[in-house]
Structures are given as structure tokens and as C-alpha cells.
Chains A and B, each alone.
Chain A
């Protein structure tokens, strides 16, 4: 009992049990029992995770092999878990936020039929299980198992309301786009196997530290892993699935598409930071893609009218920030932002869920307005979430975003400039959302207005807890400039993540940057207030229309990739298969048929012709015999 690390395997086991019980017993259990089991197992994991976390803080880490998942010739891939600083932190986020969202779901999904309610919770538990596998895996293959597992759960949950074809298509899109990334991840694994001969994190990293990789290898491996991450974490060019994934129930969006699964890519790169630090090419690519995604998604979010779509693009944008941090070498900042983002984005999603719940399924913010008066707790917590994401001190978002901006500044002022601009856009669109939804006059139907009500406690309590976390979450990473030794997170992660070697900026510059961003953010919020406090519906034109249509990227993909491939498949099926290959096959048959029909004419039945033929052929034989005789 001394060491929780030896029973760390219980952490993923609990949700797996929950999945099995809820999945198999969904027809026999009652809703409350399903809810209790579903949330209870995650709570159990959470408690275990805290225990594990305490042990890890004490300096213990642990790698445990359970059995050989694959062992062929020299290739040995154990089924092994690794509990260290990085994974224990993610364990806390996943199980903690996960638990709150499970509790929230018991109320949010209460109108579903018992059977589907059970299905929902079993999927959710399965997701938590896969996610835990992903972060606890001690090698790339186990990580990949979790990686595809979360993709599967995401697919199942996006398509949870399976009667709706549009939702199902969104689910398919999510899975397929993820698979494109997964392929790159797989090839990276093969590459590692080819070079290292095994995939354990420890072996791969020590191999890298001994400089046994060539620089080409390391660049290709890191780029491939990054492509995998762009799929899972919705970065250019594979980001388009995430906004569509909002088809799933809102708690799912909060858990999977905001707080946990989409940060898997960041986890993976942070885990492989030793490899990434060795390739400057990849680092630059990661930073540029991250920043470009952040900016692109932020511009799109400016003009979205679906409450969840705004949050979805905001998520894409924030993930871009995290990749920017990774690309500039600030791994700790990225992980820090993952954590704070998990708090405030889950809060915002759950808040939007509460709004949607109150509005009876309505998601278009143009039909809302003035909800702040009716939904007091939701609105208050939403405010906190928006302030946190906008980055106003001392809310959590400020500290993590500041760390990212700082590392961008260290790398290059241009990166900093664009990142700051994106951060301002973030503040603007988030407060646009806030003001349109919660202030002004109500613009929906009369029935909706009548129906408005604050959500039950099972939904508001998670909101309040998350709001509190969004407020205090940043204090674990107070910059050195403000408080000496305030960067507890960086210290904690030191054994896994090497501090990046940039030229540190002076404290005065750091103060100036913080001040600048804070002031500008406040200005943006005030601008948003004046623009949207009395929102009136208007048609978007010009650039606004392009933004509303998401830069037409989906259409571009359809035209450039999906349709040609599909047409090519049709061509293969309709023409090549039918006429060329089968044509040749049937052609051979026809040729034989035709040939024999022609040959049949020789059989005239005339005795004379037969005899003539016989004599002639005998003559030929004689002649041949005569001439060919040696």
C-alpha cells in the first residue's frame, strides 16, 4: 500500500469496468444507477490519480510491464504503463475534468431513453479508458492504441444520435481525418522500429540522446508524428473535422473536443520533446502551422453564429497556440495551456450546454440575447470562462497565454506580433459571443422565452467548480518575473521536459509585454461591448461572408480531394474493371469461341478434301524430315 504507482493500472481499469457494466447492462439498469456507475468509476480513477500524483510529486516514477503485447524476433512491444510527472498531470486533468463532465451529463442527457443513456455512458467511460491508455502508455504502440481508441469513441459519440444522417457524416469525417493523421503516426512508429528496434519511450529517447539518429531520420520522424498530431489536435490541414464534431452532445464536445482528446497531440509532442528539440526544421514547421491555425480559426470564429461552432473554432485556435508554444520550445507552456484550457474551455462548453438546455435545443446565438437575467449561474460562470480565455490577470488563461507569447517573442518578434493579434481576436470573438448571448434583448420565440430556466444542480455545480479552477488554475505557473519560484509546474515537469534554451528576455521587457497584451485585450473587450451590446441581426457580406463560410476550406477539400478520388473509384469500377480487365478475360473466351467457329468451316465433310489434306500434311512431314535431318 506504500506505493500507489504499482497499482496504477487500476486507473484505466475502472472506466473499462464502467464501460462493460453500462454497455452490457444498459437495458437492465436504471438511469440513476447508470449515472452513478458511469461517474463513480471516473471518480475512482480520479482519486487514484490524486494518490499517484502525490507519489510522483514525491519524486517517484514508475514503468511497469504487464505482458508482451507483441513479441516477434527482436521486436518486443510490452504492454506497459509509465507513470511520471507528465502523465500524472494529464491523469489529473482527464479524470478530474472527466468526472465533472460525467456528473454534468447525468442531468444533461436525462431525457434520453434508458437504453441510449446507458450507451452514452458506456461510450464516455470507454473514452476515458482510451485516453488514460494514451497518456499512460510507456511506448508509442500503447500510446497509439489509446490514440485510435479515443478516435473511435469520438466517432461513436459524435454520431451518438445516429438517426441524423448529418451527424453521422460528421462522425465519419472525424474518424477518417483522424485516420489520415494516424497513418503518419504509424509510419513514424515503423521508422522508429527500423532505426531503434523498439518503441519504448526510454529506449527511443536515450537512443536519440546518444545522437544515433541521423538528422534526416529525426526530422522525418518528428514531422510524421506531428502530422499525426495535426489529425488528432485539429491543426491545418486536418482541422475541419472538429467544428463538424459539434454534432455530438455538448458534454462530449466539452470532454473530447475541448479538454482532453484534442490535446493528445500536444501530449505526444511534449512527451517526445527530446526528439523535437533535436530538429530545428520540425520545430519551425510546428510553430508556423500552430500559429497559422490559431489565426485562421480565430478569424472564422469571428463570424460564426452557432454557439458551439464559435467555441469549436476557438478550441482549434487555442490548440494552435499550444503548438506555437511547442514549436518555440516552450513545452511547459504548452502543457500549462492544455491544463488551463481544459478548465476554461470545458467550462465554456458546459455553459453553452446549459444555455442550449435552457433554450430547448436552440444553438443559434442570433436567437438568444439577455439570457444573463434568467440564467444567473450559467452567465456568471460563462463570464469567468471568457475572462480566463481572453487572458486578463489573474485568471488562469493569462498566465498560460503569457508564457506562450513570451516564448514566441524570444523566438521572433514577428511570431509574437501575429500571436498577439490572434489573442486579441480571441478576446473579441469570445466577448462577442458573451454579449450577444447574455446581454441585450431576447430575440427568440415566445415559447423559448417562457421555457428559459436555470439548469439543475448536477449541471451548475460542475460549472462552479470549473469556474473556480479557471480562476485559480494559473497560479501553478506564475512567471519568474512576478514571483520567484512561482513556476511550480515547470519545476514539477523538469525531469521529463528539459527547459528550453532560448535567450531569456529581461524582466522589464516581460512586464512590458504583459502590460501591452492586457491593455489591448481590455480594449478589445470594450470594443466588443459597444459593437454587440445591442446586437441586431444582419446579413454578412464580403469578407464576413467568406469567414462565415469558413474560408470555403471544406468545399475546397471536397473539390480537390474527395470528389476526384470518388470519381476515380467510379471510373475504376465502371470502366477498368468492367471493360478492361473483365474485357480481357471475356475477350479470351470470345476469341476461343470465334476461332473455333472459323475452324469448324474446315470440316466440310468432303472426303476428297480430307484426303487431300492428309496427303499434303504427309508430304510436309516428309519434306521437313528430309531437310531437317542432320
Chain B
């Protein structure tokens, strides 16, 4: 399958994620959209990794070229998991304090 399909899918997912982050006010949905964006990137990484590996194999059967892309995916997944846990904790605290998960209430940064 040509790499272009993966790229377009990934762009589509990423844009959905961005639009979600920009338009929604619910912190949890924003969170999910961020995850969506991260996964879009993951998808792209895996796709490119596979592609590079395939081209490299043709020249040298023992190559490991391209596998580092998949390695990055694992990193991103770990970071995303950590982020989710911290982020969800913050959202929970926020909900306890102001009984809402609407991010527009969070404008304390300006002071």
C-alpha cells in the first residue's frame, strides 16, 4: 500500500484532534483530542518505519534501519500514559474545586 494513504489518514486524524482541542471546552474531550493527535503521529511513525525498513531490506537482509521509528512510538505511548495520569488527576481536582471541567474557567494564568 502506498505511503500516501497512511499520511492522509494521519493528517486527517491530527486535524480532527486540533479542531477538537480548539473548539471544545470540556477538559476531558480536549484530552481525548490530544490523544488523537499523538496517535496520529504514532501511526505516521510506524508507517514510515515500515517503509524505510522495507527499502533497506532489499539491499541488506540483516539491516535494522527504520526500527528506531517504532522505538519512538513506544516512547510516545509511555509519555502519553504518564501525561494522562497527571492530566486526569488535575481534571479531577479541578472538578472537585469548581464542579466543572470547562477550561474557560481556568484563566488564572493571566494574573
Binding partners A and B: yes
Chain A residues in the interface with B (C-beta under 8 A): 603-608, 611-612, 615
Closest to B27 in A: A607
Q: Are B107 and A606 within 8 A (Cβ)?
A: yes
Q: Are A604 and B22 within 8 A (Cβ)?
A: no
A616–chain B nearest beta-carbon distance, Å = 10
Closest to B110 in A: A605
Other-chain residue from B21, B25, B104, B109 in contact with A603 (beta carbon distance below 8 A)? B109
In the complex, the number of residue pairs spanning A and B with C-beta atoms less than 8 Å apart equals 26
Q: Are B110 and A615 within 8 A (Cβ)?
A: no
Closest to B107 in A: A605
When distances are taken between beta carbons in the complex, the residues of chain A under 8 Å from B108 are: 605
Given A612-B22, A615-B18, A615-B22, A607 and B110 touching (CB < 8 A)?
no
Would you give 22 A-B contacts (Cβ < 8 Å), ordered by A? A603-B109, A603-B110, A604-B107, A604-B110, A605-B106, A605-B107, A605-B108, A605-B109, A605-B110, A606-B103, A606-B104, A606-B107, A607-B103, A607-B106, A607-B107, A607-B109, A608-B22, A608-B25, A608-B103, A608-B104, A611-B21, A612-B22
Further 18 A-B residue pairs, CB within 8 A, beyond A605-B109, A611-B21:
A603-B109, A603-B110, A604-B107, A605-B106, A605-B107, A605-B108, A605-B110, A605-B111, A606-B103, A606-B104, A606-B107, A607-B106, A607-B109, A608-B22, A608-B103, A608-B104, A612-B22, A615-B22
Chain B residues in the interface with A (C-beta under 8 A): 18, 21-22, 25, 103-104, 106-111
B75–chain A nearest beta-carbon distance, Å = 22
B108–chain A nearest beta-carbon distance, Å = 6
Q: In whole angstroms, what is the CA distance A603 to B109 when docked?
A: 8
When distances are taken between beta carbons in the complex, the residues of chain B under 8 Å from A607 are: 103, 106-107, 109
When distances are taken between beta carbons in the complex, the residues of chain A under 8 Å from B107 are: 604-607
B23–chain A nearest beta-carbon distance, Å = 8
Give the 10 A-B residue pairs with the shortest CB-CB distance, closest first.
A605-B110, A605-B107, A605-B109, A603-B110, A607-B103, A606-B107, A612-B22, A611-B21, A607-B106, A604-B110
A313–chain B nearest beta-carbon distance, Å = 83
Q: In whole angstroms, what is the CA distance A575 to B111 when docked?
A: 41
When distances are taken between beta carbons in the complex, the residues of chain B under 8 Å from A611 are: 21-22
Q: In whole angstroms, what is the CA distance A607 to B107 when docked?
A: 7
B10–chain A nearest beta-carbon distance, Å = 16
When distances are taken between beta carbons in the complex, the residues of chain B under 8 Å from A612 are: 22
A597–chain B nearest beta-carbon distance, Å = 13
Q: In whole angstroms, what is the CA distance A95 to B107 when docked?
A: 95
Closest to A607 in B: B103
Q: In whole angstroms, what is the CA distance A394 to B3 when docked?
A: 132
Q: In whole angstroms, what is the CA distance A604 to B105 when docked?
A: 12
When distances are taken between beta carbons in the complex, the residues of chain A under 8 Å from B103 are: 606-608
When distances are taken between beta carbons in the complex, the residues of chain B under 8 Å from A603 are: 109-110
Q: In whole angstroms, what is the CA distance A604 to B109 when docked?
A: 8
Residue among A604, A607, A612 having the largest count of chain B Cβ atoms under 10 Å: A607
Closest to B103 in A: A607
Closest to A606 in B: B107
When distances are taken between beta carbons in the complex, the residues of chain A under 8 Å from B110 are: 603-605
When distances are taken between beta carbons in the complex, the residues of chain A under 8 Å from B21 are: 611
When distances are taken between beta carbons in the complex, the residues of chain B under 8 Å from A608 are: 22, 25, 103-104
When distances are taken between beta carbons in the complex, the residues of chain A under 8 Å from B25 are: 608
When distances are taken between beta carbons in the complex, the residues of chain B under 8 Å from A605 are: 106-111
Closest to B108 in A: A605
B20–chain A nearest beta-carbon distance, Å = 11
Q: In whole angstroms, what is the CA distance A603 to B107 when docked?
A: 9
Closest to A612 in B: B22
Q: In whole angstroms, what is the CA distance A103 to B21 when docked?
A: 108
Closest to A619 in B: B18
Q: In whole angstroms, what is the CA distance A605 to B105 when docked?
A: 9
When distances are taken between beta carbons in the complex, the residues of chain B under 8 Å from A606 are: 103-104, 107
Q: In whole angstroms, what is the CA distance A237 to B2 when docked?
A: 102
A207–chain B nearest beta-carbon distance, Å = 82
Closest to A600 in B: B110
Q: In whole angstroms, what is the CA distance A608 to B21 when docked?
A: 8
A195–chain B nearest beta-carbon distance, Å = 75
B24–chain A nearest beta-carbon distance, Å = 9
Q: In whole angstroms, what is the CA distance A458 to B11 when docked?
A: 119
B91–chain A nearest beta-carbon distance, Å = 13
Q: In whole angstroms, what is the CA distance A608 to B18 when docked?
A: 11
Q: In whole angstroms, what is the CA distance A606 to B108 when docked?
A: 8
Q: In whole angstroms, what is the CA distance A607 to B109 when docked?
A: 9
Q: In whole angstroms, what is the CA distance A605 to B107 when docked?
A: 4
B51–chain A nearest beta-carbon distance, Å = 23
A76–chain B nearest beta-carbon distance, Å = 76
Q: In whole angstroms, what is the CA distance A60 to B18 when docked?
A: 110
Residue among A606, A608, A615 having the largest count of chain B Cβ atoms under 10 Å: A608
Closest to B106 in A: A607
Q: In whole angstroms, what is the CA distance A612 to B19 when docked?
A: 10
When distances are taken between beta carbons in the complex, the residues of chain A under 8 Å from B109 are: 603, 605, 607
